[in-house]
Structures are given as C-alpha cells and as structure tokens.
Amino acid sequence: MDKLQVVKIGGNVIENREALLDFLKDFATLSGPKILIHGGGKEATQMAEKLGIEVQLIEGRRITDTQNLELITMLYAGKLNKTIVAHLQALGCNSLGLSGADGNSILAEKRPPNPIDFGFVGDLTKINNNLFEILLQNGISPVCCALSHDGKGQLLNTNADTIAATVAGAMSRNFEVHLNYCFEKNGVLLDLNDASSLIKTINENQYLNLKEEGILHTGMIPKLENCFNALRAGVKQVKIGNPKMITETGTFTQIIN
Amino acid sequence: MDKLQVVKIGGNVIENREALLDFLKDFATLSGPKILIHGGGKEATQMAEKLGIEVQLIEGRRITDTQNLELITMLYAGKLNKTIVAHLQALGCNSLGLSGADGNSILAEKRPPNPIDFGFVGDLTKINNNLFEILLQNGISPVCCALSHDGKGQLLNTNADTIAATVAGAMSRNFEVHLNYCFEKNGVLLDLNDASSLIKTINENQYLNLKEEGILHTGMIPKLENCFNALRAGVKQVKIGNPKMITETGTFTQIIN
C-alpha cells in the first residue's frame, strides 16, 4: 500500500501568517499523496464581535447557531482555506480546498439537542474515500476545513482533530496512513511548563492512567482520544508534535497501540 | 463530442434564497456534464459596511483592496459557494466548489495599475481544462465563484461573466459547450421597460449597431462582449435569459455568429 500523510494544523499555525507560510513550505515538500486538515483559530471570535454576532457558550463550549455557522463558513471555507490553497499552489503543491459538502467528501449528522443543544454541530458518519482517492491519484492534495454536511443541505461545524482522525482512518482502507497532529507544543508533556517533560510514546493504558491521575492538560484529552480512534481505525502511525515534525526535524509524541 | 452545459447565475438569483433554491432544483435536473459559475451580489457591500471596510469606487467601478478581497473571498468562496454546493448535494447533484486557486483551476494576472489601479483584480490567462475534465468524468459538477489566482499566492477578483465565457471557451476543446447566462431579465431587450421588446437572436453586427445607437443598456454591453468572445472561442451555443431557460421553459436571446 502507498503511504499517505494526513497532517492537521490548528489555530496557532493559522493565526500567525509567518508560521503558516513556514508550515506550508514544509508541507509542500512532502513527497507522495498527502491531505491537509486545518482548524479555525481565534479570528472567528474577533469577527463575531465586529459583526455583532453573539457567541454563546454552554459549559465553556461554543454553540453554533445560524449566524455563527455562516461566520465560520466564511472564515474556514472561505478566507483560511483559500489562503492556504493559493499559497500551496505558489509553492508548487497542487491542492484543492474542501468543505464536507464539496464532492460530498465528509458526511455527518447534526448532534442531538439533548442534553445540550450545540446547534449546527456535526458528528461524522461517512468519509467519501472515492473523492479523496480521485484527487490524490491526480496529484492533487485535498485541503479540508472544519466543516461537514448532512447531505440534506446543511453545513455542520465539526472539530478539525476529529475530521483528521476520521479521514485518516477511512483512508487506511487503501493506504498506509501516517497521521500528524501539529500544534503549539512539542508533544504530550507531563508538565505543560517544562518542555523536557515530553513523553516519547504513549499507549492507551498509559494515557488512561495519566488521565485518571489528572496529569494531562484537559485540552490534550480529546486530542488523544482522536489519536487512539485513528489507530483503532487502522492508521499506521500517529504523532502529536510541533509543525516541524513533518520534516523529521521537530519533536513529537508517538501514539502507539 | 459530449454536450457540456455551462450556466452562470448572478446577483439577482443569489440574493433571494427562494429564487436560488428554485434555480438549483432546475440545475440539478440537467443531465450530463455541467458547470455552474456564480457571481456575488450586494451582500459584499452590506457586509463591508458592517465591518467598517471602505468601498472605493473609481468611475463607478469598485476597487478591490486587501480588505475587500478578503471580504469577497469569505463571501464568494465561503458562504455563497458552500451554500450552493450543500444544496446541490441535497438535490442529488454531486458538486464541488472552486476558487481559481483550487486545483489551479483558473489562472489570471493582476490587472496593470495604469490607467486605473483596480487593486486585486485578475485578467484571465489560463483555464485548467484537465481539472474540470477530471471532475466531470467522475460525475462531479464544478461550482466556480468569481475568484481567480495568479499562481504566486495571490487570489484575484474576476468578473463571473468573464469566467463563464472563458471556461466555456476553453472547455470547447473537448466538449460541445452550451453557455447560459441567467439574469433578471428575459434576455436582450430593446426597451428595458418592455418585456415584449425581447430580441430572439443577435449577431455581432446587430450588436455593434445597437450599441452605436445607444439602445443597449450599459450593463448589457460587457455581457454581450463575453458572449461573442465565447462564440469565437468555439462555444456551440450562447444564450442570455431568465433562469428558467435552462429547463427550456424560460425566455432568452440567443447570441449567434
């Protein structure tokens, strides 16, 4: 099976133009089939303020109402996605931006309103492998933003980490998939303020122990859950680390079975 | 050669949700390969106001500065394009949204700053037939917004009528292309206030005469120029009319050699 690299970048890379261009240079040099998945960043909140759109939080989690969905569609599928694609083209990497509706690539169903109504948030149901394969076979790198759709005309907000894990898992049917979560830290740290506390590898038992002991940063828990889901779905290699890890020069934690 | 339908819709259809859904239902029923190209509409101006972005006009024509380019990228490639694609998917039409950067589909160069600096406006240089053909061969209808790119990382604002004519012309290499410009009138009218003044056909000589006599509405002139350019580029059939013409039930003017 051919190797396929699935790389996810988050807010920290996207919010800083220099960091984004740096990362895209590295991504463009990766040889072979590759898929980029990007999150959103803080701009959605800033722009919501400017437009007078209320951002409603329940238990610290954002509710995606109609206006907020419209806003993130503009930002994620519009501004961010197209900026990334245009720069990758300039770097000689033929890429094509996708929301989940494009080519029916990423299907989801609206999360049930109980116990909490998160609004237009989608739980993934199906990845259209065929579309991704057509693009990859033609030398095109798909660039996915954090939007799925329900197939009935509704776009849905979906966590980019989850999209990355699910796309990587689905693509494992025909590829040896390597999944890289790039973020602002060097990997999984035992002490957030101590870079030397980096864990080189983590398996699910170790993860569950660290979680129980309260040692893991809360933001790391859903990220690691996605990593283990990806491994279970057949992904060959999963890493969390800084963006430089994709060129083998960065640091990372490898998530293992 | 297979028939390919290229359909352009403008602001009037896009600004009215009901009209848009009506049109998309008709578009979804068209059999065979098809490409949709959409303009922007007045929302860009409304949102510029909300965001405090200045809209600069020179000789009645809009200047696309950095902020305005960002805004139309959000609106055209984000909100409008993805709304259209999501609805087409719901109607059973597998579509995929494109800016000119996506798949390197529509290349342009920035318009020279003399005599007027229009900012980030692109004059088309190349259509990537290959990308359109790959999508069409796989039963996917491309949905293009009014954005091209220069291949060097810069997105550019380009008139959707011009994109439609140029894509239709380029695709004539391997298809019998039928180009439909849908707009708010029933076709080319000798008297804007009299629907019965519709011209059934118009050739270039008749056009030049009507233009010289000042009978044509100024908005119609660049539209017709695009139509004649398309015919010259090998497009088989070019029509201007109301959106219903794509189902053979609307009225139109056919542009002929």
CA distance linking residue B216 with residue A227, whole number of Å: 63
**What gap in Å lies between CA A51 and CA A53, rounded to an integer?**
5
A44 touching B (Cβ < 8 Å) = no
pLDDT greater than 80 at residue A60: no
pLDDT, one tens digit per residue, over A65-116 is: 999 999 999 999 999 999 999 999 999 999 999 999 999 999 999 999 998 9
Q: What is the pLDDT of residue A12?
A: 82
Distance of CA B72 to the CA centre of its chain: 15
Condensed to tens digits (0 to 9), the pLDDT of residues A169-216 reads: 999 999 999 999 999 889 999 988 888 899 999 999 999 999 999 998
- Domain boundaries, given as residue ranges, for chain A: 2-255
Q: What ipTM does the predicted assembly reach?
A: 0.96
CB atoms within 10 A of CB A153: 17
In chain A, what are the helix, strand and coil shares in percent, each to the nearest 5? 40, 25, 35
The whole-number average pLDDT for the span A121-127 is 97
Band (pLDDT 50/70/90 cuts) for residue A45 is confident
- 8 A C-beta contact, residue B177 and residue B127: no
Q: Alpha-carbon dihedral of residues B44, B49, B51, B52, nearest 10 degrees?
A: 130
pLDDT above 90: residue A128: yes
Instruction: Please give the pLDDT value at position A132.
Output: 98
Residue A11 pLDDT:
76
DSSP code for A226 = H
CATH fold of B2-255 reads Carbamate kinase (3.40.1160)
Give yes or no for B70 touching A (CB within 8 A).
yes
A97 interfaces chain B, CB cutoff of 8 Å? yes
Please tell me the predicted confidence (pLDDT) of residue A58: 82
> Does the beta-carbon distance from A90 to B134 stay under 8 Å?
no
The reported pTM is 0.97
Mean pLDDT estimate for chain A: 95
**A43 shares contact with chain B (CB less than 8 Å):** no
**What is the phi/psi pair of residue B168, to 5°?**
-60, -45
Q: Which of residues 115-134 of B touch A (CB under 8 A)?
A: 131, 134
10-residue block means of pLDDT along chain B (257 residues)?
A: 96 89 97 96 86 84 92 97 98 98 98 94 98 98 98 97 98 98 92 90 96 89 96 98 93 96
Contact criterion met (CB < 8 Å) for A101 and B79:
no
User: What is the pLDDT, as a whole number, of residue A192?
Assistant: 84
Chain A touched by B140 (CB under 8 Å): yes
Greater model confidence, A224 or B43:
A224
Determine whether the interchain pair B78/A83 forms a contact, defined as Cβ–Cβ distance below 8 Å: no
Cβ–Cβ contact B17 with A under 8 A: no
Q: How far is B3 from chain A (nearest CA, A)?
A: 22
The token pair at B158 is 């380009």
